[in-house]
Structure formats: structure tokens, C-alpha cells
Structure 1
Amino acid sequence: MLMDAKTAAALDEAKTRLAEEHLTDPNVVGVAKGFRTRDGELTDEPVVIALVRKKRRAALVSRSRLLPEVIGGHGVDVVETGEFRFSGATKAAAATPIAERFRPPLQGAGLGSLADGTLGTFGCLVRDRTDGSICVLSANHVLANFGATAPGTAIVQPAPLDGGAAEANTVARFKRAIPLVKGVGNTADAAIAQLEPGIDVSSTVARNLMAPISPTHRAIGLAFLASVHGGTFMAKIDTVLAQLDVELLTPDSTVAAVEGGRIEKVGRSSGYTSSVVLDTTARVFVDGYSFDDLIYAQRFSLVGDSGAVVCEGGNGRTYTPMPAIACRMLGAAGTLYDLPLDGDNAYLDQARDEFFGESAVGNLVVQLVYQNLDVAVNRLEAATASPEEKAEAQRYYAKYRALVIGLLGDPGSAVQLSQENVDDIRTVFAGFSPELVTLPEKQALWVIFDDVIVPSVGRTRAGLLEYMNDPAVYRRVVTALREIPGLEVDDTYGFSGR
């Protein structure tokens, strides 16, 4: 779906007006332009998109903070994205961070300012057009601490928080940055530091997790801002290079991002990840800074990945890791139905990482569990189950446990979702008591059942993952979930609507 230049220009004007009037609202984090999604379906209506931390019904919002339905003659689509923050501001918690010492320093490794104690990622090497020197490219808030760092300040690898807090670990010295200014629209968060004499040059990526930048593996952006679940804003690489007056070491190695394009990167905290571009004209407001004309992707970076260079490629679904789901929900459900679920936590984690984590819809389900875990556990602990309900639960457990475990262990399984499976799911949904599932929640479950589960009959595991990665399917699920009062939904995927 394409937008003509005249409409795009008009929407940009309306987007600027919306930002001027509402970006001071702490709930509004950004704006973008795109097409409206209605009833879970993408329409051809061009709109301005308002990105909010939390989407609330109009009746619950004061009139002074109510977002307009129309601005500049164009409709406004309000979409929830969750919280965003600079991803290099604090130490990150990651299972296997790229925190070791590399000589020569390599793209994707952790680094930071010795004086400021910052933490971020070695983006790549660039050549300074002003004097021909070789420099490290990363984020401004990593190399320059939002402009507070003096030129010549030592940049160390590994970062100070990763054990590199010594002058002997210096690999470069801060040279210059794209200024970050509050109250105006910024388009990039980037800086360079000149390599120290005697530091060798290498285009290799840390741990060989990704191919080097080249004309066949082109760079599209620089990651610098992440949400709590990995939603990532990126500056466009050509914007970064032009404003810093630098160039990549290999010519013809950049390309413009396109919506739907697969991307990959290697960062200090999340290592190798691959996702899909969801927007190329996003605008965001965080910590007093406004940014325009950004790229956005889902579950692509974490705290400490700031400065990572993003390239085209990958499978589009190697996402940032999620912490283990607490097993207390399994324990509460096991107690309610007299089932040995405590021993199945490993399979639950496997299902999360090796099935649900491979799709957009699956990731939404995982996030939904995290955010609403206390409510679910409290309901399970307060509920009672009749002997008949316990017997029915035990029957389904015996019927499907071995099958599910087998499917989890065989990614290439040819087993298809059968009509009998779907009928069993229907019976389970229908049997949820009001103690466990409210009426609005059950209504949403039936929408998801009709729109997602019923059309999945005959699909294999691979086919199910492909279907659950369909943006239209994802939007239908999100639309249904948003109708549930009180449900916490962190929708950091597909806010553009395009």
C-alpha cells in the first residue's frame, strides 16, 4: 500500500501539529503517519498515528488531554506502544552479554565512556571525511553522555560497567557528536570517537554473529532507543553519516529501510537479533528529547544495545530474549485441578522460546502473561473446581501432554492442527468459569478463536508460525484484547498500521 507524495506531505504537517499540541502529555510518546487499522483490518485511509504509553477509553481521559479524532483534515489513530527509554543509560541484565575484551575492538561489542561510566555498543568503524581518520561509531548518549563529554575523553572496551574501567582499556577518544537538543526535533542520536594509535582495524563482527557490513550486507540504521520489551527506534544510517560527516569503510554499503523489510543487528546486551521494519517515519518523545523520521521494529534491542548498527537481512523473527515465566501460575493451576503442573515448567519455557517466541502473536501472548500474571494467579488461588471440572482437566492433560512435548522437540513436525483439536479448544474456552475469566475476556477469547484458531485447521507447526506472523492476524488479536477492561496490553508491534 503506497501513499502519494502530496498526501504524505499533508500528513507530515498534521503530524507536526499533533506533536506540538500533545507531546507535552506524559502519556504521548510519539507520532507517525500511516494507514488506519479498523476492526483489525488495514484500511487505505491515510492517518496521523499517535503513540501512547497506555491507551484508555475516552471516558477515562480528561478533556484537556483527550487526543483529537481529526487534525489538519486527517484522522488520528491512537495506538498503545508502552514505555521507551535510551537503551544505553544503565547496566543491562542479559544472559550472555558481549562484555568481553576484543583486540582489535569489534562491531557489536560493549563499550563506554571511561569518565562518564556509560554503557553501549560498538556500532562499526567509519572514516572521518574531514581528516581521513578511522573512528568508532556509536550513540551520542554512549560516547558523549548527551553532549556532556569533552573531546578527547577515553572510550574503553569493554565498558566500565563490564570491567573495563581502566585507562589501559582505551580504544578510542571521543571526537564529535550530533547534538541532542531538547525542544526541537532531532533525527539521530550518534557520535564518533577516533581510534587510538596502535589499535588495529577489523570489520569482523563480535563472535562472528553476523556478516560484516558490505555492498551485499548493507546498513540501514543505528539503534538507540528501546522499550521494556525490546521495541526499538533507529536513526537512519544515511542521516547519521551525513550529519557526522563520515563514511563507512566499504562504499555502497547503505540502503534505505522499507516497511516489512527484514533486519538484523548484533548488540552488547541482546547479541544477535532479527526483526521486521514496521515504520520508517516514526516520531518519539522521551526524557525531554523529540525525535523525527525514525525506523521502528519489535523486540529488537535491549538496554546496552545503543549504538548498534542495523543491517538488512536475517529471518525477521530472532527476537530479544524474555525472562523466564514464573512457575507460580502453573503451581496455582495444578493445585486447582489436581494436576502435576509444577514439573512442566521447563516445557512452558520451551514453548515460550521455541514456539510462541517465534511469532508476533506469540510474543504478544507471552507479554500478556507477564503483565497480568498477578491477576491470573490470584484468580486461580481463589477459585474452586468441581469434581467434574477436575476430571475434565485431567482428561485433556493426559490427552495432550505427550503430543505437545513431542511437537516442541520437533521443529519440522508434519503433524497438523485437526478439527478435533479445535473442538477441544472450543470446549475448554466454553468451560472457563466466571471466577477465572470475566465475560469481556471470554468475548475476546471467542473473537481470537474465530479469527485465529479456526482458520488454523490443517496447518503444521511451521504453518502456524507463518500464520501467527501475519500482521493482519496480529492486529485482529490486539483489537480483541483492547476491548477487555483492565487488561494490561503492551502493544509495541505494528503501531504504524502500514
Structure 2
Amino acid sequence: TGRQAGTLRELMAIRAIHGKMFRRLGLGTALGFRTRDRQVTDRPAIIVFVARKLHAQWVLDGQMLPSTVQGPGDLWCDVDVVEFSYHGASSAAPKEQVYSELVECLRGDDQCVGPGSQVASLEVYGTMGAVVRSRTGEHQIGFLTNRHVAVDLDFPYQKMFHPLPPNLGPGVYLGTVERATSFVTDDLWYGMFATCCSETVVRADGAFVPFAASFDSSSVTASIKGVGEVGELFTINLDDPIANLVGKAAIKVGRSSGLTRGTVVAYGVEYHDDKGVCFFTDLLVVGDGGQFDSEGDSGSMILLCDGDKPRPVGMIWGGTSNRGRLKLRQGHEPQNWTSGVDLGRLLDLLQLDIISND
């Protein structure tokens, strides 16, 4: 009885109430839809990740997760259990996995630079995300990428190049990081306390790099190679129905694996470290028939296939090589997955607007 939760905010509130139980019995949680008989249903659920799913016959008393949980008022929702193959330490992934005409263009074999192009600091390379304009100061135009791609605290200047820095090969100076963020508290990010844990942060991992005055900005394009112009930013509203986001088809273009396709399978992924800190990452994307990202694709925009033009919704920051693999369907091997930052919230935090056309 009662009212079934139907929005991300409602699922988040229910999860917060039962957080201690989920932490005791699982490796982490996320918000999405329940899977039954190997098919994704339309029933909103809190997804609990476990090391191994077992038949109820072999689960001890006190270790069985309930099939539903109650929330505030008369709210309730389903609980789904997904197997998570944990790597432990980060697994090594080959740096160069795809060679195609598109990928060669993104790595410097093209007269233009834009979303999807290779960018590099003095020791790390990644992918250019959105072309953006600052909402403050002189309203500079620049680009967005990951903080872990752009910022190295061992160097005094956080300079970015395309395609390579001068110490590694030919390249052009793009600009220097002006503002960046790594983690944000849950109340600032979501506008609510997402857990009962006092130490809760969301992985934001973004950096804004305004184009340098010495850089020829006429070579910048806001279109994505292999995709074209993008549509308006897809703003994730926690009060909208879950189906507005979860289950949607997505694409990305990155300097390592080029154009790939996948599906948004969950939002608001939660996990804890051994120091008691609760971490959130926003988007969980699974590739269609293969990996959605590879090492070096960090910073790529995640685009929803929504309408005539794909709409930016997130930015990749990590994936399978960081933690493990998900077994989403019985009888199938575990799948690779990708973590993404909620792009709308990151743009607001860094005071930026997307430029979607040239």
C-alpha cells in the first residue's frame, strides 16, 4: 500500500533512510529500474550492488535484502540486486585501443579542434568536453574537461595543449586552467542531503580552460566530429520521472575509442571507502555490445539521443578500469560501465554556459 516512488528525489530520500542497511549488506547503490527475468522493467528501484548474488536458500538470516522498502510518508519502492565484480586496485587498460579515420582526426589529424579532440597537460592526456563561455568576468570562451586531466599539482602552471605537450611531441598551447573542482558536498550539488552520512561528497571532476589570446580561435568548432551539432543541454531535474533519464540511449565521442553508443542505466551511484567517506557519482552508462569509453576518453561529453540533435547531459570521468564490472543480466558475463558527471550541475558550479553552434 502507499505511493510508489517515481522520481529521482523520492528514491534518493528512501535510500537515505535505509542507508545503514544498504551499506551493511551491499558494496554500493544506485537509482534506476528493476530487472526481472533478464529484462529491465518500468518499476523504479534502488539498485544494490553485491559481490555475488545467491539463491535465497544460501543467504543467512539478517543478510537478505528486502524486495521493497518504505520511505517518508506513504512512499515505497522496489529493491533490485546487481552483481558487481570488484577489481580492487585499478586495472591496467591499453592506452591505444581504436584506430579509425575519426579517431586519427581527434588526435590531431584535422584542421579544427572541438568536443572529442585530444587535449593534454604535461603528463596526462584526455578529451575536450564542451566548448563553453564563462558567465563571469570577461565572458571568455574556452573548453571543459576533467580536473584530473587538466590539473597536476606537481607543476606550477596548469597548461593544456593539442594534441601533445611540447615535451612529448608536436602541439599547440590552448590555454591555462582558470577554475576547477574535484568534489562537492551532496547538499550543494543536489540541493538536499542525499544520505545520513556526515561525510558525503559528489565526484564533480571538472576544469575550465579559457582559450589563450595566442591561440587561433577560428580553428575551434562546437560541432562534434562524427556527430555534428548538438542540441540544448539536458538538465536533470530530480523531481522529473525517472524514465526521463534512466533507460535513454546515449553516445559519446572521445580521443581513444571514437564514437560509441550505450544506455544510461542508473543515476546517483553511491559507494563508501574504508575511511567512512560516502562518495556519489551521477551517471552510470553501459555500452551497447562493448565498452562505452576507454582510457583517454575522460572529459568526453555524454549525449542523450533525444530528438533531432543529441543533447549534452554528462561528462565522462572514469569507468570499469577504476573499480570493477557489473553483471546486469543472469546468464551473461559482467559488463563494462562508465561513470559520468551531471553536466548541468557542473556548469552551474563553474559558472559556465555551453556553446552549441559555431
With normalisation by structure 1, the TM-score equals 0.46
Which of 265, 272, 283 lines up with 2:269 in the alignment? 283
Specify the SS of the correspondent of 1:190.
strand
| Structure in which a larger fraction of residues adopt strand | 2
2:159 corresponds to: 154
Q: 1:134 to 1:289 in 2, by over 3 A?
A: farther
Deviations 1:438-476 (A, max 9, x none): xxxxxxxxxxxxxxxxxxxxxxxxxxxxxxxxxxxx98x
Specify the SS of the correspondent of 1:290.
strand
Q: How far apart, in 2, do the equivalents of 1:59 and 1:119 lie? A: 49
Q: 1:194 to 1:150 in 2, by over 3 A?
A: farther
Which of 206, 211, 214 lines up with 2:228 in the alignment? 211
Q: 1:260 to 1:78 in 2, by over 3 A?
A: closer
Q: What fraction of aligned residue pairs are identical, expressed as a percent? A: 25
Deviations 1:303-342 (A, max 9, x none): 2111111223399xxxxxxxxxxxxxxxxxxxxxxxxxxx
Q: How far apart, in 1, do the equivalents of 2:163 and 2:59 lie? A: 47
Alignment of 1:36-435 (within 5 A): 36-41=34-39, 45-52=43-50, 54-56=52-54, 67=65, 69-72=67-70, 74-82=77-85, 92-96=95-99, 97=103, 98-100=106-108, 104-114=112-122, 117-131=123-137, 132-144=139-151, 148=153, 152-159=157-164, 165=168, 169-180=172-183, 183-186=199-202, 188-201=204-217, 202-203=220-221, 205=223, 208-213=225-230, 217-220=231-234, 258-279=245-266, 281-285=267-271, 290-298=279-287, 299-313=291-305
| Structure in which a larger fraction of residues adopt helix | 1
* Contact 2:184–2:204 (CA under 8 A) maintained in structure 1: no
Residue 91 of structure 1 deviates from its aligned partner by: 6.3
* Contact 1:275–1:300 (CA under 8 A) maintained in structure 2: yes
Give the RMSD, CA atoms, in angstroms.
4.4
Specify the SS of the correspondent of 1:179.
strand
Q: 1:218 to 1:301 in 2, by over 3 A?
A: farther
Q: 1:185 to 1:133 in 2, by over 3 A?
A: same
Q: 1:40 to 1:314 in 2, by over 3 A?
A: same
Q: Name the larger-Rg structure.
A: 1
2:29 corresponds to: 30
Structure 2 residue identity aligned to 1:283:
V
Q: 1:52 to 1:99 in 2, by over 3 A?
A: farther
* Contact 2:125–2:296 (CA under 8 A) maintained in structure 1: yes
Structure 2 residue identity aligned to 1:171:
L
Structure 2 residue identity aligned to 1:306:
S
Deviations 1:85-115 (A, max 9, x none): 999x97623122543366653221222321x
Specify the SS of the correspondent of 2:178.
strand
**Gap runs ≥5 in structure 1:** 221-235, 240-255, 316-370, 372-473, 483-488, 494-498
**Gap runs ≥5 in structure 2:** 71-75, 186-198, 308-324, 338-358
Q: How far apart, in 2, do the equivalents of 1:264 and 1:190 lie? A: 20
- Paired residues in the alignment total 280
Q: How far apart, in 2, do the equivalents of 1:312 and 1:78 lie? A: 26
1:428 corresponds to: none
Residue 268 of structure 1 deviates from its aligned partner by: 1.1
* Contact 1:275–1:314 (CA under 8 A) maintained in structure 2: no
Q: How far apart, in 2, do the equivalents of 1:238 and 1:174 lie? A: 29
Specify the SS of the correspondent of 1:196.
coil
Q: 1:45 to 1:295 in 2, by over 3 A?
A: closer
1:16 matched to 2:16? The reply is: yes
* Contact 1:186–1:292 (CA under 8 A) maintained in structure 2: yes
Q: How far apart, in 1, do the equivalents of 2:306 and 2:156 lie? A: 37
* Contact 1:133–1:194 (CA under 8 A) maintained in structure 2: yes
With normalisation by structure 2, the TM-score equals 0.61
Q: How far apart, in 2, do the equivalents of 1:53 and 1:262 lie? A: 27
Residue 33 of structure 1 deviates from its aligned partner by: 4.0
Q: How far apart, in 2, do the equivalents of 1:4 and 1:71 lie? A: 10
